[in-house]
Amino acid sequence: MPSFNKTVETKTTKTTVTKADGTSQVVREATTITTRYQAIAAAIVEALQKPRAQDKFYEHVNFEWINDPAVVVPAEYPAWGSFYELMDATQKKQVSLLEDIASKAELNEDEAKLFAIWTASVQRFKDWAETGGSIAPVDQALSLITELLFDGCESWTDASLAAYLAHAQKLGIAKPFLFHAQPSLDDSKAQVLNLDPYGLSLPSRDYYFDDKFEEKRAHFLAHTTNVAKLVGEDRLAPDFAAAVIRFETKLAQISMKRDQEREFSKYYTITSLDTLFSGINELRSLDAKEANYPEGEGTVVVDDATKERIGLFLESLYGNLNLRATLEANYAKSYPESTANQFPISVNDGDYFRRVFTLLFAEENKNDLLAYLQYKAIHAASQYSTQALDAEFFDFYNRKIYGQREQKSDEKRSVALVNSWTGFLFGKVFVNKYFSEADKVKVVQMIAEVAEVMGESIKRNDWLTPVTKEAALEKLATFRTQIGFPDKWKSYESLVFEEGDSLWTLYQKVKIFSFQVDFLHKINTPVDKSEWEIEPQVVNAYYHPSHNIIVFPAAFLQPPYYTASIDQLKYEVNAEDRALAADDELVLDAVNFGGIGAVIAHEVTHGYDDQGRSFDKDGNMNDWWTPEDAALFESKCDIMALQEYTFTDPETGDVHKMNPRLCMGENLADLGGVSLAVQAFSKRVAEKVGAEEVERRLALLRIFFAAWASHQKTKMTKEAAISRLAMDPHAPGPFRAGVVANVEQFYEAFGIKEGDGMYLSPEKRVVMW
């Protein structure tokens, strides 16, 4: 008979105090002995508390992690979970790589550039520790506003405002609109000049008007007040703190809501430099945006006199940015035989641009606009000037808005700058050290299997018409992938640093380099569809609709999303299911298909979600769905929109809801990801597990679904939870894990039945792929 009092664990805890001489003294020592009886009792209590998979799947899978008091959100992050753990581990690898470079006696040209940024950043922290830093970068930024905007006069002109805004564009300083290069939505082979609304400080339009964000607006005012004190109120526009917020509130009023931004096909216009102002009333805008304004103010028409003024202002801006000459030269070089529009520009949200110039030109806004421009310039220079100013911007944005309690370490912040400024240069170093070609081969095979299942799903689909099915299959056939790192590396040859350059000097050089290479050199040229948008060392993946491609950087091919061998598992697989599976290779397949396999399928599905379906096989915005297909698709979106998630502020009681329309694309992709991945995994299982081995097959399915839910585990600070519901198109982790309630195989694997918490009646389930 077993002894229930047999000791199974002994734990000794010592309490110490530090004496005046710096030595430690133990003042209390306690030993906790856990008997077998106590261990069994604890297990019973846990079993009684742990929800069933059939009722709360996310909580069931992640119960131990959620309730582990040792698992907390680190002070340097706003949230914690699988994604953040991998990101943090990857960042530590990058710190190690840069420290290795810094210790070398001789450096090659690429390493020298990385070293220059790293050492200048490290020096900044040393200077802060010794002297608190220098206000000189802010002085320079503010002086340029005075020099360019006022040009020796008491007030500014439209031409001088254009001169300053051009300077801000070159140095990456925020302003009410942004020029950048992007593939034309109408012709994905052409890189065009693009004009977007820009320049709000708070996460979304709602932060400026919704009562739930009143506290955040108060924090914003306190922040701008502190900034004025640190910089010197006498150097800034009168009533600086309030003026910044007044102007931003006016910008927010004419901006779209986050969910409205997703409907870009309705507010995107291709025009030209000339017709941008002469045809400004014809620029497309979203009809639903009219409801954002007070009654009777939903539409605005620009009169001829204002058009003329806008035209003169824009011509001055074009001249300061050298746009006409650049567009003409690039066009002649890229399209020597063409006689088409040589000065194309795409514009998003015509309504915004019919209103924003009025704000810029209005005499009564001049003081507020000046304060706004000064604030944005100070923000751009803040992390390169004084420690106090850097701390103030961190406190407002990172702590008050997003819930990050402490700054990252000096080393991690330095790595972030290296990645931001010379990311692909550093990516070569990362890939050489950490990327495995063998892993790439396995992931490429998984992509092929997911694509095969997607093709089968399209063919048997019962809600798409035959003509649309054919177009969907054509799009799938032209689908491309890139794994690990780019086929062609970005060149940094023209980025030149000098020995002794300060971090502020490096910042300016990098911004001018980016303005030349990433903007002027690209507009009016053919698109390079092999070019990546994120670096290989970034933990992420994406689908690009204009390129019809999914990209998986090297850093993403790591546990827990991709696990090369069973001994690398980052979480504990259910022991009973693993025993029933009786094959660790299949267990590993289950884990990987529930991880990176579902992410692959997620990205594939983006090609057919509420935004991706607007693009054809060539990456052009083209409505290739029949009205019947579109109506059925929207009906499925309506069902998905009924699946809700809320967060209640524990202090105020305010209820923050997930915006189903904002999250629609990601929610559909999550659902498609799980659905397609489980189908692809099931085909692998069928090759090894006989039809009669039902329990074995179900065990493997349970491991698959548990892997998916495990990857969604997240703990957040209150501020992070609130801000993400307001602006992030990705749903919170519990909701993402719960999309399995729409998947038939989930019901089979866990025996879900009516009355269970996870049960959705068939008419409430979204079944697409």
Contact status, residue 735 vs residue 674, Cβ threshold 8 Å: no
Give domain status of residue 150, yes or no. Answer: no
Which of 349, 165, 192 has the alpha carbon at shortest distance from 255?
349
Terminal alpha carbon distance of the chain: 55
What token pair was written down for 164?
């300053």
Contact status, residue 348 vs residue 264, Cβ threshold 8 Å: yes
| CATH number of domain containing 612 | 3.40.390.10
Which of 749, 733, 752, 739 has the alpha carbon at shortest distance from 66?
733
Reduced to 3 states (helix: H, G, I; strand: E, B; else coil), residue 397 is: helix
Residue whose token pair is 């082979």? 189
For residues 356 and 454, state if they share a domain.
no
Which of 47, 60, 43 has the alpha carbon at shortest distance from 706?
60
For residues 599 and 462, state if they share a domain.
yes
Contact status, residue 360 vs residue 369, Cβ threshold 8 Å: yes
- Residue 337 has a pLDDT of 82
- Alpha-carbon Rg for the chain in angstroms: 28
What token pair was written down for 159?
């031409």
For residues 439 and 379, state if they share a domain.
no
For residues 378 and 447, state if they share a domain.
no
At residue 493, φ and ψ (nearest 5 deg) are -60, -40
Mean pLDDT per 10-residue segment, the chain (769 residues): 44 43 45 49 61 98 97 97 97 98 95 98 97 98 96 90 98 98 95 98 97 97 99 97 99 97 94 94 97 94 97 98 96 85 93 98 97 99 98 98 97 98 98 94 96 96 92 96 95 96 98 98 95 96 95 96 92 93 95 98 94 94 92 94 93 92 95 98 96 96 98 96 94 97 98 98 95
For residues 477 and 579, state if they share a domain.
yes
Residue 29 gets which letter from DSSP?
Answer: E
Facing residues of 719 across strands?
none
Contact status, residue 192 vs residue 273, Cβ threshold 8 Å: no
Contact status, residue 217 vs residue 275, Cβ threshold 8 Å: no
Give domain status of residue 682, yes or no. Answer: yes
For residues 368 and 241, state if they share a domain.
yes
Give Cα separations from 555 to 217, 534, 714 (angstroms). 37, 11, 20
Give Cα separations from 302 to 162, 247, 283, 345 (angstroms). 20, 21, 11, 20
What token pair was written down for 484?
């690990």
Q: Is the dihedral of CA 126, 127, 132, 133 positive or negative?
A: negative
What token pair was written down for 632?
């059925």
| CATH number of domain containing 212 | 1.10.1380.10
Reduced to 3 states (helix: H, G, I; strand: E, B; else coil), residue 702 is: helix
Number of separate domains in the chain: 2
Give domain status of residue 153, yes or no. Answer: no
- Residue 31 has a pLDDT of 45
For residues 327 and 448, state if they share a domain.
no
Give domain status of residue 52, yes or no. Answer: no
Give domain status of residue 19, yes or no. Answer: no
Q: How many CB atoms lie within 10 A of CB 480?
A: 12
For residues 325 and 460, state if they share a domain.
no
- Residue 43 has a pLDDT of 53
Contact status, residue 92 vs residue 84, Cβ threshold 8 Å: no
Q: How many CB atoms lie within 10 A of CB 674?
A: 30
For residues 321 and 244, state if they share a domain.
yes
Give domain status of residue 649, yes or no. Answer: yes
d(CA 451, CA 479): 9
Q: How many CB atoms lie within 10 A of CB 528?
A: 12
Query: Can you say whether residue 205 is alpha, beta or left, with left for phi > 0 and alpha for psi between -120 and 50 degrees?
Result: alpha
Domain boundary among 370, 385, 400: 385
Which of 482, 593, 480, 486 has the alpha carbon at shortest distance from 541?
482
- Quote the distance between the C-alpha of residue 465 and its chain's center: 34
Print the domain residue range for 263: 158-225+236-336+343-385
Burial tier of 585 (Cβ tally within 10 Å: 0-12, 13-18, 19+) = exposed
For residues 637 and 698, state if they share a domain.
yes
For residues 381 and 440, state if they share a domain.
no
pTM for the full predicted model = 0.91
Give domain status of residue 363, yes or no. Answer: yes
d(CA 581, CA 689): 9
Give domain status of residue 743, yes or no. Answer: yes
For residues 597 and 463, state if they share a domain.
yes
* Amino acid at the residue 487: D
Please report which residue ranges of 582-655 form alpha helices under DSSP H.
Answer: 584-592, 598-606, 627-641
CA atoms in the 13 A half-sphere facing the CB of 547: 21
